[in-house]
Structure 1
Amino acid sequence: LTKAGLAGNPTIILHLFQDEYSLEQVMNSRKVFDFLTLLQCCPTSDGAGAAVLASEAFVRKHRLENQAVEIVAQEMVTDFPSTFSENSCIKMVGYDMSRLAGKKCFEAAGLTPGDVDVVELHDCFSANELITYEALGLCEEGKAGELVDRGDNTYGGKFVINPSGGLISKGHPLGATGLAQCAELCWQLRGQAGRRQVPGASVALQHNIGLGGAVVVTIYKMGFPQESRYVIGSAASSSGDGDLEGFKAYPVFKEIENHLLQEGEKLVRKVGGVFAFKVKDGPDGREATWVVDVKNGRGSVTNDPGMCLNGLNGKSAVEDKLLWFIDAFASKLDGFIFFISSNLVCFLIVVER
């Protein structure tokens, strides 16, 4: 269920399982217990996740409105007595507490399951994923299989569930798993998820569970939606997209990215522009586009032009800023020929030579 969308993913190196398997391969893999086979079970793994919690005052002070994700609602529920008294496997794996946490979370947010665009849920085993669909109200009880058959758990369907690949694909680093889910949903809401991006994602739902036990369900939205129309980077940026390393321009943009990490806030105040560089005549004649945002937040570098066109500036507004930008990195840009677009001075075509 969770791996099919990962083929060709530029961030696939983050995943423990990197191959796409057929249904037959999954069903014929080594038996673990009853109908569960090895490829239906998440692998425990090393890993890390991180999130920065900030007040609204901090966000505004540091001009981070365009990337601030709001925790709209969050609920934690622990095991019910029925978990231990009714001898139910479904309740033992957290169905009741997941259902209550989801219900309380939607009520607190003033939303319904139908409002959700993207979900990261705890798919420790394939059966748990299906049970959780029903517990969270993504479908009626007993209808999870039909939801899958309709394609309503993936791109083009009603929801996109586990675009990260889920625990079964990316691994389960235990304590870091929940923060990894949070990071993925933040990338999705910001439009930074690269080829995993869920188009128009505005409401995100997270489900994380520990058996025996507690469950936490969280709903996220962009905290300042009017500011979030500008993309501030990409999870599949120049620092993570291995197939771009063959371009001569790669180390140039890598250095720009590192420079922004160190002095981004200062440069944003000075420059205030977004610049797109289309690089031609790369390895095997390929093309690539780098977008350098020196306007929003602390600046960023991304490789997806389709996600940042709204951030580009008109010619009269940025001509002097573009000239400053090229001059600032002139020593690094030696060996490239620049052609400035006739209608957008901030869009450059770069030919490697």
Structure 2
Amino acid sequence: MAEPRGRVSDMLEAILAAGANPNAWSDEPAGKRRRHYHHYYAVLTLASVIIRGDDPRHLPLSTLLQLAIEESGVVNKGGSSSWGGLGDLHRGGRLHNVQLLLDAKADPNKASEPSPDHLPLLTALQLEDDVLVRALLLAKADPNIKRTDGGDTPLHLAVRSQLYKSCEMLLRAGTDVDAEDARGRSPLHYAGAGPMTIINSLTAFGADPLHTAPRSGETILHTFAACENAIPDTIDWIALKAPQLLSSQPPPTNLTPLHVAAKRGHFSTCLRLVDRGADLNQRGGRNLRHTAITLADKRGHHELAKALYHRKTMMCTATWSEWLRNPTIQTTIAFIAVMLWLNRALLYDLCLDIATWWYLL
């Protein structure tokens, strides 16, 4: 099947074949490029941009490769676009333009100005485009680049967006599997929402399940517990892989993963952690005052607090006073009391039996 082509693609190929600089800049202001290229004279403008080369007179400046990738994102998910751009309306045509520039030795590690974070590989991951990621990695894009804002590596972005194919490609390209972002979190910290295939890939390439953020002391399980859409499989995996993390209480918060989940009201995560051995009696917080139950209740997650309380009393780890405050136990006692009151003869016999039993002791 022939690759989608168009006027701009043909002109771009011809100009590059004539020796034009593939690392030239576009000085079109952000937000104006796509409207500008919608018109027929897009070809002439593109030619003038390439011929000008590295023109430092205008800001912001975007490399042609960056511009081609940004424009490919216009139709990344919809399949068609109402705007024109550095390519054709068919997404394949836009990818063709990216490949044309890469084949002409466009630098995949050259950032656009004024921000050093405007890098082709990071943009491709933000667009969630595995095909672009593959093309850039084959062109020797650096898999270990970091954003200046937040310290994310390409692998952090891929894991957070659940891009399994991109994760695999980055890992095979030699990315640092335990690289830390500005918060000290490794990519594995962001895998709580799954899928498990990503976690399996990370650990197969040596990701450390015991990795701890240096400043906060946050473990992988703490981050999973804080994840709103964490899936049970990931909680089970880390709890079985590193059960000692269930009781981990890094200062200064001194919160266990169960405390973290209870504080945020993550119902299913809390129950899963309890099933895996988290201690409902363990106290945390700055003054070690709160159990997961009291912390959930304090934060207004009353149904969660009731569920944890019920789970605690049913597990026979509660004190007598806690047993008596259990709604199920209270209902049972009330029912027995009413039945005995209605049958006083039975109540008399029961009291007599209790007195006899007590005397014999």
Highest CA radius of gyration, 1 or 2? Answer: 2
* Structure that is richer in helix per residue: 2
TM range (shorter): under 0.3
* Structure that is richer in strand per residue: 1
TM-score by length of 1: 0.27
